[in-house]
Each structure stands twice: as structure tokens, then as C-alpha cells.
Amino acid sequence: MPLDNAADISTLVQPGRVHRRVYGDPEIFELEMEQIFGRVWIYVGHESQIRNPGDFVTTRLGRRPMVLTRHTDGEIHVIHNQCAHRGAMVVAEDAGNADEFVCCYHGWTYDTTGKLIRVPLQHGYPSHFDPDDPDTAMVRAPRVDSYRGFIFASLAKDGPSLTDFLGYMTTSFDDMVDRAPDGEIEIAGGVFKHAFDGNWKLYLENLCDAAHPLFVHQSSIEAASEQDDGAHSDGAGEIAVRQMRQNGAPYKMWQEQIGIWTYPNGHSFLGDYHDDEKLVAAKRNKVFTEYIAAMETKKGKEETKRVLEVTRWNSNIYPNISFMSQFRQFRVVHPVSVNRTEVFNYMFRMKGAPEKMFEDTVAFSNVTNGTGSLVLTDDLETYGRIGVGVNSGGAEWIEIGRGYETDSPDSHGGVQGKDSTSEVYIRNMYDAWLGYMTAA
Amino acid sequence: MSRLAPDDICAFLINEARTLDERRWEDWLSLFADDGWYWVPIEEGQTDPRTTVSLMYDDRLLLETRVRRLKAGKLHAQSPISRTTRTIGNVTVEDETNGVLTIRSKFQMIEYRRNLQRLFGGTLLHGLAEDGDSFVICWKKVELVNCDSMMDGLNVPF
Ligand code: FES
Ligand SMILES: [Fe+2]
């Protein structure tokens, strides 16, 4: 059936289930690109990528290729990477520093706010041609804002403020930044770029899924369980090996020791996970001891305790990021087509922390989140299989009902699952999805 | 200079490629020294595997873990398995320091899995030490021409 109106969309989301078309229908995907990626706050980059005037980095808003820039006056802009003349992509490098952007085709030139500043052979144009028209430009996203260094853009002229949009989830960004002894973090260590033949929504739906590791990651659990705990030859990798084993924790642990919290606009986090005794950055670890000392020197004992008591695992900011403060991993999801998605996995370095902690971040990423890692590769396989399944015309409904009867309000205006295995965070994303998709 | 002839070096590299194509993972692992390492950088000219991520960067213990995973009962990402075929050429000896030869070669690998064929290519750098009539791999670095491209998952070592 063609989608005629909001009422049709509404039939696709029901209590505890969604229609498989939301993952496979190109028409729905097109609507998502307008109603969601074309309107809501979308993460586009971090301030550490554009520290100085003239710095730029290419990014995306949904499928739109954008350039994130810092203008001479220090203002941040997000401009469409398309020439106003005959449409060529203007900026070809991934990152750099420039006073202006010159199109390769006929030399139309833009400043770092996207404004057209030079047009060679400017004669004989009809009266509508106005180089000062903001639409005759590398068109700027109307709203750009940042929270503690994390930059978002929205293609809607009006709407909720960024902090209203993030709501209680601002605390997850605080958790990322507050852990740095010097109070500052920076993107560092390269980026993994991976892709799969599946819908973009699958990614965040997996990142807070506490029920999947035991099945999906069986191979790395098995391989890591057999590795002895002795000193690793160079120290690298050990942390990640422990993480692989942790994925094999019995359901009892996921049910008794870990929780899932969800908030308006589709956001959520999986929490209470990192009891350091159980997991990776063990408090007895020498580097961690040095780190705590650095924290206490800079922030005092009390503040250090407060910061480190936050034990969140993945935080999802709907629709396109998922990050984790413990190992400073940060994934950005880019929809490509209804059944193709690309994901960038970045890392952050904490200023003032021992450099070995950053090396552990890199090692962790290599082994668990990398394109050739022992863990993520099984997730990618799973997304691909879902891509095949939901497009194969079988059962109409996708069940997302686990924990439905036992969800309960939390004290910050959200809804929490009875335990971490609840699919409440998926239901919560679909509440937001439905709101966006049916908005006038 | 090495007692072993250039032909021996080529034969060693060809045999190594064959263990991988034939998915004899343990045989492949046994070619590495006990403190050997294996590295597939993600950036052209990447100098440091500690402070920049890599497509793969395994010391011997992690390499053993990688191989155990390839043999694990429920390896979804290799169900079905990848079939590969590798060709090696342009072999040159670049250096010999403290008994370790640096060997440079070019490779192409075709990987086929579930209706999809992928082509990989690049430069292999091997640090080889003589060991009886053959060599052990002290280190192996794989420089893919598309190291920084968008990719679906990589499960088979190069
Ligand atoms: S297309 Fe850019 S100047 Fe002509
Ligand atoms: Fe996973």
C-alpha cells in the first residue's frame, strides 16, 4: 500500500511490535530522510576537529554531504558541499584549513560560512541571479549548536533547543568530558569506517541490546575464554580480551546487575555495567591508579568520586550516535539507502590522563569495534542477515515486546526496563520515530 | 647475507599464502615467532599501531585468539566461510638487520563469500628470520591500497 498520510504510518507501530516495512520500504526511508534527518538535531562533529579559524572537516546530515567549518570570527557553520552554480561537490578533502572554498569547475568561490564571494565571468545573468541570496551559496544548515564540544546541526529553522532535545542525556556527554582530568577531550587515533547491507535503525537497536552478546559473540567469547590471564606480551589487547569474555556473562548478570534507561526523543543508555572489579579498566590496574591520582590532583577527591561513580555503558542519542565513556568510543551512523548503512567509529583522548589509557582505548577499539575486529564483525553479519530477513516477505511484524509489561517510569522523566534485557529502548525509539514521521 | 636463496624466500611466502587460502589457520600461526606480531594499518604511512587504530593489530597472544575464533564452533561472520585466492609477486629483499630480513612483496587477494566477491591488494612486508631450512615470521605488515576505505567486516587475515 502506498503511504498516503500520517494515519498509514501510525499503523506500522503497535504496542510491542513494528511492521517490517519500516526496515525495508524505500518510500519510508525517503520520508525518514526528510522528517528525521532533514529536521531533528543530528550530530555532525566535535570541536576538537575544527579548533582554529579556517579549519574544516567534511561530514553528513543524513545523505547530505556537508562541511563543518570554523569561520574567521570563530563561529561554527555546517554548509552543504554543493556548488550553487552547476552543482559540483566543492570540498574534496576530508579535512583541512582554508580561507575560502573554490569550486573546481568554474571557480565560484565561497567563504567558510558558505557565502558566495566570487563569481568569475559575472555578466549577462538574468535578474533572479543574486550572489547575496543565502540560497545561492553552499547552503547553510539554519541551526548549529554544541553541547560540551559535541556539535549538532538541524535543517529545521525552528524547533526545540539542543539541550531540550538531549534532555537528561546531557549527563552522558558530561560523563564523557568530566572523566578527563583537564576537563577536555579530543578526537584522536583515526577512524573505523564500516558498512553493512541493512537499515540504519538496526545499529542503535543493537547498541543497547543486552540480550545479544551471548549469542552473536559466541565465537569471540569462546576464543577469549581460552586465553590465559597472564601478562600480555605488550599489554595491548588484554583489556579487550576481558571485554570479549564479559560478553559471555550469563543472563543472570544482565538481569541482576545491569539496567536500561530511556528518555524522550528516542535516547537511552545501558548502565550500571562497569563495576570495575568485574570488567576492564580494573581499579587495581596501574594505569588506572595513575589516572585516579591525576583526577584527584585536578578535581579533588570528592569530584573524582562523583565522576567515576557514573557507570554507563552505551548511550544512544537518537537517531545517529552511540557512545561510551569508559573507553571513549563514539559511533556515528550514516544512512545510505534503505538497506545500506555506513558507520564511523571514532575515539577520544582525555587530556591530562596517562597516555597509556589512550593506547588502551585504541587496543579496545581494534579488538572489539574495528572493521577487522573479533567482535563487531559478528554484529555486522547479524545486520546483514536482518537486511535479508526483513526484506524477504515473511512474518509481517517484528517483535520488540520483551519487558513491555514491566517498564516503569524513572526519576528523570524517562522509562526504564525491569532489567537490561528489556527492549524498552527500541520501543522508545519507535515512539520518537512515530512522532517525527507523522509531524506536520 | 642469508644462506637461503631468493627462491627459498619466494617459496616461503607462497606457502604462507597457501596456508591461508586453505584455511589451515594453525599452520599459519605456527609460522610466526613466539613474539611475532601481525599488523594491517588503517592509514597510508601509519607509523604507530599504539596510538592509531588498525584494521588488525595482533601480538602473538591476540593472533592466537584470532585463530581460535576462526576455528570456533559458532562463528556467524564466517558462516558461510570466505573462500580466498592469493597471488604474490615482485618479491625483493629490502634489508637485513640482526639476522632479520625485511622482505617486500605485492599481493592480490580475492575473497568470495555469500554471492559477494571482494578484491584486496597491496604491499606485504615480512620480517623473516632463518630457522633451520626455512624461516619464522618475526613480524608481518599488510599495507592495503584501500586501507582507509569504507568496508564491510574483515574476518580472514591477509
Ligand atoms: S559548478 Fe561550481 S563553479 Fe561551476
Ligand atoms: Fe554486539
For residue range A311-324, what is the model confidence (pLDDT) as tens digits? 898 999 999 999 99
Q: Is the dihedral of CA A123, A128, A133, A134 positive or negative?
A: negative
Q: How far is CA A210 from CA A51, A200, A297, A334, A389, in A?
A: 37, 19, 36, 23, 21
User: Rounded to the nearest 5°, which phi and psi values hold at A250?
Assistant: -65, 160
Contact: A380, B35; criterion CB under 8 Å? no
Residue-wise pLDDT for B54-103, tens only, equals: 999 999 989 999 999 999 889 999 999 999 999 999 999 999 999 999 99
Would the pLDDT of A280 be above 60?
A: no
Order of strands, edge to edge, in the sheet holding A64-70?
A: A76-80, A64-70, A55-61, A95-97
Please tell me the predicted confidence (pLDDT) of residue A228. Answer: 67
Q: Distance (Å, rounded) from C-alpha A168 to C-alpha A163?
A: 9
Domain coordinates in residue numbering, chain A: 42-154, 182-437
- CATH class of residue range B6-144: alpha beta
**Chain B CB contacts of A234 below 8 Å:** 59
Residue-wise pLDDT for A68-90, tens only, equals: 999 999 999 999 999 999 999 99
B140 to chain A, minimum CA–CA distance in Å?
16
Q: Distance (Å, rounded) from C-alpha A130 to C-alpha A253?
A: 64
Fill in the DSSP letter of residue B130.
E
Q: Distance (Å, rounded) from C-alpha A374 to C-alpha A386?
A: 20
Residue-wise pLDDT for A375-423, tens only, equals: 999 999 999 999 999 999 999 999 999 999 999 999 999 999 999 999 9
CATH 3.90.380.10 fits A182-437, yes or no: yes
Asked whether A391 and A29 are in contact (CB, 8 A), the reply is no
Asked whether B119 and A337 are in contact (CB, 8 A), the reply is no
Residue from A102, A103, A125, A138 to probe ligand 1 pocket by mutation (most atoms less than 8 Å from CB): A103
- Locus of grid cell 556527554: A173
Pairing between strand A312-317 and A321-324? antiparallel
Which residues touch A33 (CB under 8 Å, ≥6 apart)? Answer: A62, A63, A335
Nearest-atom number in ligand 1 for the CA of A84 is 2
Q: Distance (Å, rounded) from C-alpha A252 to C-alpha A258?
A: 10
Burial of A108 (0-12, 13-18, 19+ CB in 10 A): buried
Q: Distance (Å, rounded) from C-alpha A114 to C-alpha A67?
A: 9
Q: Distance (Å, rounded) from C-alpha A414 to C-alpha A408?
A: 9
Q: How far is CA A41 from CA A37, A84, A151, A163, A426, in A?
A: 8, 25, 9, 10, 19
Q: Distance (Å, rounded) from C-alpha A68 to C-alpha A151?
A: 9
B7 to chain A, minimum CA–CA distance in Å?
32
Please tell me the predicted confidence (pLDDT) of residue A396. Answer: 95
Q: What is the rounded (10 degree) CA torsion for A287, A289, A291, A295?
A: 180
Q: Choosing among A203, A371, A376, A380, which should be mutated to test the B contact, i.e. which has the most B CBs within 10 A?
A: A371
Q: Tell me the average pLDDT of chain B.
A: 95
Question: Confidence class of residue A233 from pLDDT cuts 50, 70 and 90?
Answer: very low
Question: Confidence class of residue A242 from pLDDT cuts 50, 70 and 90?
Answer: confident
Determine the average pLDDT of the residues in A344-358.
96
Q: How far is the CA of A119 from the centre of ligand 1 (A)?
A: 9
Neighbours of A345 (CB within 10 A): 23
Q: Give the architecture (CATH level 2) of A42-154.
A: 3-layer Sandwich (2.102)
Question: What's the predicted TM-score (pTM) here?
Answer: 0.95
Residue from A82, A83, A100, A139 to probe ligand 1 pocket by mutation (most atoms less than 8 Å from CB): A83
Please tell me the predicted confidence (pLDDT) of residue A246. Answer: 78
Which residues touch A237 (CB under 8 Å, ≥6 apart)? Answer: A363, A366, A367, B58, B59, B61, B62, B65
Q: Amino acid identity, residue A248?
A: G
Q: Distance (Å, rounded) from C-alpha A305 to C-alpha A312?
A: 15
Please tell me the predicted confidence (pLDDT) of residue A231. Answer: 47
Q: Distance (Å, rounded) from C-alpha B158 to C-alpha B140?
A: 10
Please tell me the predicted confidence (pLDDT) of residue A235. Answer: 47
More confident residue, A275 or A208: A208
Order of strands, edge to edge, in the sheet holding A150-154?
A: A42-46, A150-154, A143-147
Which residues touch A342 (CB under 8 Å, ≥6 apart)? Answer: A193, A194, A195, A333, A334, A336, B150
E-strand ranges in B4-150 read: 32-41, 54-59, 83-97, 100-113, 116-131, 134-144
Fill in the DSSP letter of residue A140.
B
Whether A367 and chain B come into contact, CB under 8 Å, resolves to: yes
Which residues touch A192 (CB under 8 Å, ≥6 apart)? Answer: A344, A345, A365, A369, A370, A371, B42, B53
Contact: A241, B62; criterion CB under 8 Å? yes
Which residues touch A168 (CB under 8 Å, ≥6 apart)? Answer: A263, A412, A413, A414
**Listed residue (A315, A341, A336) closest to A147, CA to CA:** A315
Domain coordinates in residue numbering, chain B: 6-144
Nearest to A190 among B42, B64, B65 (CB): B42
Would the pLDDT of A244 be above 90?
A: no
Report the residue of chain A nearest B67, measured CA to CA: A223
Nearest Cα residue to atom 1 of ligand 1: A86
- Locus of grid cell 586453505: B22
Q: Distance (Å, rounded) from C-alpha A85 to C-alpha A88?
A: 8
Please tell me the predicted confidence (pLDDT) of residue A326. Answer: 86
Fill in the DSSP letter of residue B108.
E
Would the pLDDT of A97 be above 50?
A: yes
Pairing between strand A321-324 and A329-337? antiparallel
Q: Which ligand is nearest to the CA of A208?
A: 2
User: Rounded to the nearest 5°, which phi and psi values hold at A72?
Assistant: -55, -30
Please tell me the predicted confidence (pLDDT) of residue A86. Answer: 97
